[in-house]
Structure 1
């Protein structure tokens, strides 16, 4: 699991081409809602370490976030083979995140 949002976002085409399970998380390191979601994320992510996790800094004019129509932070998008399967916005409990992870990685 990644712990810091990275300013350099991958290209949408690269995300769409990723095989398997991917968690794409949009937010900002200074965002209080994003910070509050980290403990539930860590709890839910246990046992899913094989999932690729992109933690992308978002904001006005950021192409990747706009392509996914992200409006609030954090937004967690659960992808399977480049296709969105589930989405969670501003989670405060691990259950919602765990449900999304289960949808893209039923092996765990």
Structure 2
């Protein structure tokens, strides 16, 4: 799948995210965050082998979607399926934890 390059300043509501059909990977962070930038190469590599929705959402104080997921560190990757959180990875530095996270979506979609 083609990875989204920049974090979106506009975010869906929690109800909209919970209503999404299928598997969705939420990525919370900011364009200026060093940890977020470091995670982009391994994330792009892993996403190239998967078909799923990827929402890259700018987070920060007063951002209700990130708060509803209790995001505290960036980047935080949350895998959702039909409104249910399957798992999350915080500050990934290599591909393995991202692959393991996305594997949860494959296991539960059978």
TM-score, normalization by structure 2: 0.92
What is the CA distance between 1:105 and its match in structure 2? Answer: 2.9
* Alignment partner, residue 70 of structure 2: 69
For the aligned residue pairs, the C-alpha RMSD in angstroms reads 1.1
Aligned match for 1:19, one of 2, 21, 27: 21
What is the CA distance between 1:103 and its match in structure 2? Answer: 0.9
Q: Give 5+ residue unaligned stretches, structure 2.
A: none
Report the Cα distance in structure 1 between the residues aligned to 2:60 and 2:20, rounded to whole angstroms.
23
TM-score, normalization by structure 1: 0.94
Runs of 4+ in 1 over 2 A off after TM superposition: none
* Alignment partner, residue 32 of structure 1: 34
Report the Cα distance in structure 1 between the residues aligned to 2:44 and 2:6, rounded to whole angstroms.
13
Matched positions, count: 106
Q: Give 5+ residue unaligned stretches, structure 1.
A: none
Report the Cα distance in structure 2 between the residues aligned to 1:38 and 1:85, rounded to whole angstroms.
21
